[in-house]
Amino acid sequence: MSIIMGSTVPRGWKDASTFPFKGLLISAIYLKEAGRALTSPTPDRAWHLITLAYYHLGLNTTESEPMAQARKLAEKNAAVTEEARGLVLGALDLIAKNKSPKSIADAQDMVVNLLEEKGEAIDELLLVYADKAKIDPSSPKPHRRFEAIGRIRTLMRDWALPTSPYPEIARKFAQFNQRQDASGPANPLPEPPRPEGADGAEPAAGPALEIISIRADGYTLTTRISKADPGADA
């Protein structure tokens, strides 16, 4: 207990925090106790102990080298594309308010068109992104701006996917994929079936009022009110 709580540390240990590998020790204790439980009158208790052992083991497990590299790369990419993502999000907001793209690809083209407009704020952010993306600083500004927009167009293909690393951008693109063309003819409502008698023939002629309702689940409700038949069929 003194080791787990950090009151007993290795000689020369100068860190004031608790023992960094206490999770491993706790896991070992639980696994040892699980081994005893398997030979006890209550062996089912071993399942609970093993679960606790793996829980504490997971708390103290360091990430693998590939996982660490992937995390560092994601953080680096996020820092590089910060200005580019801001430009795309701003352009998508303008497109949603003022334009009507028919698809995600159409929306991406509109984003590029907005970025190509010569605005001072857009131009400044494009050049900041060009610096972070290591686009040749010796190139003329128009060339650097053109290459930056080209890279953003390529990045948007991944950003618009459901597996995008930036869900906020994927959601904004998804709204254009759900839009439907409202200029086409509306689908006519299905005609309600006419009520039939027991033998399939039309109801007897005579003054009558029929109320036919179609429910959302597809069921048809028919109410017939007739002078010849004062009773109502439902």
The CA R_g of the chain, rounded to the nearest whole Å, is 35
pTM (two decimals): 0.50
| Tokens describing residue 145 | 């701006």
Task: Return the exposure string of 27-52: e unless at least 16 CB atoms fall within 10 Å of the residue's CB, then b.
Answer: beebbebbeebeeeeeeeebeebbeb
| Distance, CA of 6 to CA of 15 (rounded, Å) | 10
Return the H-helix or E-strand segment holding 3. Answer: none
Q: Give the mean model confidence (pLDDT) for residues 58-72.
A: 67
- Is the pLDDT at 216 greater than 70, yes or no? no
The segment with the largest mean pLDDT, out of 2-6, 92-96, 114-118, 211-215, is 92-96
Q: Give the mean model confidence (pLDDT) for residues 166-180.
A: 82
Percent of the chain clearing pLDDT 70 (strictly above)? 63
Q: Give the mean model confidence (pLDDT) for residues 84-103.
A: 90
The segment with the largest mean pLDDT, out of 21-35, 67-81, 88-102, 211-225, is 88-102
> Quick check: 177 and 94 in contact, CB under 8 A?
no
The segment with the largest mean pLDDT, out of 2-6, 57-61, 137-141, 197-201, is 137-141
Task: Return the exposure string of 167-182: e unless at least 16 CB atoms fall within 10 Å of the residue's CB, then b.
Answer: eebbebbeebeeeeee
User: Bigger pLDDT: 9 or 115?
Assistant: 115
Three-class SS of residue 211?
A: strand
User: Bigger pLDDT: 135 or 219?
Assistant: 135
Residue with token string 């696994």:
31
Return the H-helix or E-strand segment holding 177. Answer: helix 167-177
Average pLDDT, the chain: 76
